[in-house]
Amino acid sequence: MTLQINTLVPHQILLAFLLLLLQAWWGNCHPQCLDYKPPFEPRQPLVFCKEYSKFGCCDLEKDEKLAFRFSTIMGNFDHLGYNICGKYIRSILCQECSPYAAHLYDAEDANTPMRMLPGLCGDYCSSYWHQCRYTLSLLLEDTGSPLQFANLTATLEEDRRRFCDFLELKDKQYCYPNVLTNAELNANLGSVREDPKGCLELCLQEVANGLRNPVAMIHADDGTQRFFVAEQLGYVWVYLANGSRIDRPFLNLTQAVLTTPWVGDERGFLCMALHPRFTTVRKAYVYYSVSIKKEERIRISEFMLSAHDDNQLDHSSERTILEVVEPASNHNGGQLLFGHDGYLYIFIGDGGRAGDPFGKFGNSQNKSTLLGKVLRIDIDNNDDGAPYSIPSDNPFLGENEARPEVYAYGVRNMWRCSIDRGDPLTGSGRGRMFCGDVGQNKYEEVDLIVKGGNYGWRAKEGFSCYDRKLCQNSSLDDILPIFAYPHKLGKSVTGGYIYRGCQMPNLNGLYIFGDFMSGRLMSLKENVITGEWQYNEICMGRDQTCRFPKLINSYYKYIISFAEDEAGELYFLATGAPSATARAGIIYKIVDPSRRAPPGKCSIKPSPVKIKGKLIPFYPKTEFVVNKKPTTTPVPTTTTRKTTTTTKKTPRKPIIIIKPPMPTRRTMRKSQLPKPTAPTRKTIQTTRKTTMRTTALPTTIKATTTIKTTSATTIKPTTLTTTIKMAMTTTPATTTPTGYRTTIMTTASSRTAQIPIITPSPTRRPLQNPPSTVSKPLTSPRPPPPASTTSSALQMALTSARYLDHSGALTTPRYYWSQKPTVSSYKPHRPLINTTLPKPQEEKLRLGEKLEKTEEGNQIHKRPRGWGTGHGYKRGRGGRRLRVGSVRLVSADGLSDRGRVEIFIGGEWGTVCDDLFTTKAGAVVCRQLGFRTALAVMKRAALGEADRTVRILLDDVECEGGERSLLGCKRSRVGKHNCSHAEDVGVICG
């Protein structure tokens, strides 16, 4: 008795843990598809699951697959059955298209198993059970697990409680169909989520890290999807589309750049721009601070691309385009960009100090100086002449004492500008230039730059007057910002971009920017009718909102710059330590978790890049939301149900199915039927309590078979065994028992009968002549046993019932739960199906966990002979020496494909902590053990924890998936950890 209790405890712990996880999700539902991505609006309307045409998780291709599966299932029904059960089958299948599919299938966490069928509400499940319970087997037969299909069919369909325990989602608000009527959920479905204060909830993806004050990120617009990241020190690095970085810098100006490690130093390498026709012109332009004879200057230089390497500039080709003397060390400006007109725009600060004190009106209002200006120059066709020329339509070209390069003036210290690509469909807004202009001591502003515009500094700061005398001058005629905010929101604006990408349609037209000092992310949305810009703050989505793979919901405070890639997706560059020498810079991609573009619309294939040197792979530093540990553990609410020992049938109206067998099952011809071993065939007859009539199919065979059964399924609380009784006689009958239950079940079971599935049961009474072989993996079925055994008679009865009715006509097979074996002369050609399902495994199936093997016994806990002790290593089975880094799965269930991960290091076995452990690390473990991959990684000791005598040897394991062992992964040193055995990681292999 003690042994039995010890065997059940681990299952109870596992079940409680999984229920705890589900309980944590309930009540926090958010839109998510089964591919762990946000829902979308299909490019073409759906035909089958029409209710999800506007917003959901299916495109037309997926919709057609579901329609075909529905047609295949419903091919087993007559008209009445079609009308009654069709609505249930269709609704259940279409939940894959629901915007809440991941919640309905318990798939919101990519690291845990998901359900085989969507979660139903209790009332709906009961109605489904009463009307069409035996269709469950048809829904399960394509799940890819024959074991689950056979056992669940046998144990669930006859018991409403078990049936609904398997299908029901306990959360009454978010189960189907209640999720469709939840007004709170569906009010703003597909819109950017807002918190109670109206803050837009977005998420992030980390794409680069370890950077020293990353000040700029640009792309070459050449189809390679690579991007170039500049550090304030003077390095520029090339990143490829897969996130890896080339080890050689694209540019290294560290010897020339003027900067210091001081926090807040504005000098340094500030920006870079590639020629708009970079693939042919092959030129780059840089903006950086230099010191010449103790005089600080801003230098704009031109570089040529190396003739030998497309990922490096020719450092000897530098040509100075323009230099501007800086009277102070701050307000350096620092933006370069090419407009749609092909000209180079340069944004220079007012010269520094406070309040632009230079001259009578300051540098910004003085058009004879380049400080405090937006410049526009033409750098084409400059190889043999002046470094640049003046565009003929520059606004002050003919004005006395005005510098011809000036395009706009009255700016203070514009930091980060961008040009609108325009609406993807209409082109509206294309070419507009947005800039963030850093304020003095009260306001920060965002400006829309136009030719010849005066932006008011130093007369105005934002909308308010700074220099009252200048502000009251009637000739000022300045352009007001589109938005300004006070210093209670932030003290140093960082200009951003209008989103025009493809992946997040909700963000189209949204201007996203930030503040360097406060770390706020902000947005502006234009009212096309009034021309006004509406402000909304952007905040990080809560953990549940951002619970998608690779997404995070936190970032470093100091927002340095914004960027966009070739496809128009938005990024921002931030750091945790604003020093030019601190490696605390990270690049984040902005992600909308509420909606995405339909699959296939935004697919981009990067052009190949020739690499010279090595690639440095990318490893994210921030913990993903899906891997974060809960800060609090909710207390689960459980109810105890009494176990019934006998299932009873519910009276129901018979539904006649007169269609032929499902087309996927091969119909056997007369010549293919099993031949008798005796001169005369015996007639098989059984008795059944309820008899129903049907019409036999027209094809006839001479042999006659009549089947009647007595249905009584006995389930014991401990072993859940099903007693199968089959009585065989030689008395023919005139009618064939059939109907809705019989035909539906036999149609599905005709396929199941072809697969050998035997689940051992310790209390099961053995057959008189059991097969000599034990159950094997489903991929290699064992041959049928001899025909002379009693088990053969049972198999034969099940098999022959599949093909013959009482008159010898080929018909849909019949399957009976309670059948009694007798001797038969027919030779079986299909193995026996055992419908016994041990209770712990059934509980796992209800939670959607895949079971691949059924062997009993825990071989891992047994200590094999020949294991060495005290020699720094141990020996495995047969005296085989264990290598350092060998792994094993310790399972209390006796399953060799799952269990707690233990690793052999320094002559002892120890556990691995679940911190940072993902399915990639699980794949390394599974491949060492001979499996193909890891189906799931179970955290928080879900598959059992080790006792105190076992050491924790590894922590913070991060694998790429291709390592030979966990020791080859990024990790803490052996024995160093900050966890307990309550965090031992488990793996399920497949």
Residue 864 has pLDDT above 90, yes or no: no
| pLDDT tens for each residue of 457-500 | 999 999 999 999 999 887 889 999 999 999 999 999 999 999 99
Rg of the Cα atoms in the chain: 36
- Quote the CATH superfamily of domain 886-989: SRCR-like domain (3.10.250.10)
Per-residue pLDDT band at 146 (split at 50, 70, 90): low
Mean pLDDT in residue range 763-774: 36
What does the pLDDT read at residue 142? 62
Which residues, other chains included, contact 3 with Cβ-Cβ below 8 Å and sequence gap of 6+? none
Q: What are phi and psi of 524, to 5 degrees?
A: -130, 140
Residue range 113-130, pLDDT digits in tens: 788 899 999 999 999 999
The two structure tokens encoding residue 186: 């569906």
pLDDT over 80 (residue 197): yes
Report DSSP letters for 891-903, one per residue: -TT--TTEEEEEE
User: pLDDT tens across 568-586, in order?
Assistant: 999 999 999 999 999 999 9
Q: Which of 487, 467, 484, 479 is closest to 356 using CA atoms?
A: 467
CB atoms within 10 A of CB 143: 14
The yes-or-no answer to whether 198-616 and 886-989 have a common fold is: no
**pLDDT of 629:** 65
Does residue 109 carry a pLDDT above 90? no
Rounded to an integer, what is the distance from CA 622 to the centroid of its chain?
16
Using the predicted structure, report yes or no on whether residue 133 has a pLDDT greater than 50: yes
Residues sharing a CB contact under 8 Å with residue 703, sequence separation 6 or more, in sequence order? 673, 681, 804, 808
Q: Kindly report, residue by residue over 77-93, the tens digit of the pLDDT.
A: 989 999 999 999 999 99
Q: Could you tell me which residue, 149 or 632, shows the higher pLDDT? A: 149
Residue 72, Cβ density class (10 Å: 0-12 exposed, 13-18 middle, ≥19 buried): middle
Who wins on pLDDT, 525 or 746?
A: 525
Alpha-carbon distance 334 to 191, whole Å? Answer: 36
Any idea which of 175-184, 208-217, 405-414, 734-743 has the lowest mean pLDDT? 734-743
Class of domain 198-616: mainly beta
Quote the pLDDT of residue 148.
53
Question: Residues 270-328: pLDDT tens digits?
Answer: 999 999 999 999 999 999 999 999 999 999 999 999 999 999 999 999 999 999 999 99
Average pLDDT over residues 501-516: 97
> In this model, does residue 763 exceed pLDDT 70?
no
Taking the domains of the chain in order of start, what are their residue ranges? 29-187, 198-616, 886-989
**pLDDT > 50? residue 756:** no
Cβ partners under 8 Å of residue 287, min gap 6 = 269, 270, 271, 272, 298, 299, 300, 334, 335, 336, 346
If pLDDT is split at 50, 70 and 90, which confidence band does 143 have?
low
Q: Over the stretch 651-705, which tens digit does the pLDDT of each residue have?
A: 444 443 333 333 333 333 333 434 444 443 333 333 333 333 333 333 333 333 3
Please tell me the distance from the alpha carbon of residue 148 to that of residue 507, in angstroms, as a whole number. 44
The Cα–Cα gap between 417 and 271 comes to 11
pLDDT band at 501 (very low <50, low <70, confident <90, very high): very high
Q: What angle do CA 692, 694, 695 make, to 5 degrees?
A: 165
Half-sphere exposure at residue 856, Cβ-oriented, CA atoms within 13 angstroms: 10
pLDDT tops 70 at residue 333: yes
Terminal CA-to-CA distance of the chain, rounded, Å?
33
What pLDDT shows up at residue 92?
A: 97
Q: Is 796 helix (H, G, I), strand (E, B) or coil?
A: helix
Q: What percent of the chain has pLDDT over 90?
A: 58
- Classified as helix, coil or strand, 552 is strand
- What is the pLDDT at residue 145? 55
CB atoms within 10 A of CB 691: 13
Amino acid occupying residue 201: E
Q: What is the mean pLDDT of the chain?
A: 78
Residue 605 has pLDDT above 60, yes or no: yes
Which residues, 6 or more positions from 344, have their beta carbon under 8 angstroms from its beta carbon? Answer: 273, 285, 336, 337, 338, 376, 377, 378, 379, 388
Q: Which residue has the higher pLDDT, 79 or 235?
A: 235
Segment 415-442 shows an average pLDDT of: 97
Would you place residue 152 in the very low, low, confident or very high pLDDT band (cuts 50, 70, 90)? low
- Give per-residue pLDDT as tens, 780-838: 333 333 333 333 332 333 233 333 333 333 333 322 222 333 333 333 333 332 333 34
Residue 841: helix, strand or coil by DSSP?
helix
Higher pLDDT, 668 or 175: 175
754 pLDDT higher than 60:
no
Average pLDDT over residues 895-899: 90
Helix, strand, coil percentages in the chain from 3-state DSSP, rounded to 5? 20, 20, 60
**Distance separating alpha carbons of residues 238 and 222, to the nearest angstrom:** 14
- Residues 6 or more apart whose CB falls under 8 angstroms from that of 678 comprise 825
Task: Of 58-62, 311-315, 865-869, 960-964, give the lowest mean pLDDT range.
Answer: 865-869
- Say if residue 981's pLDDT is above 90: yes
- The three-class DSSP label of residue 140 is helix
Query: In the prediction, which pLDDT does 149 show?
Result: 63
Alpha-carbon gap, residue 41 to 56, rounded angstroms: 6
Residue 753 scores a pLDDT above 80: no
Query: If pLDDT is split at 50, 70 and 90, which confidence band does 866 have?
Result: very low
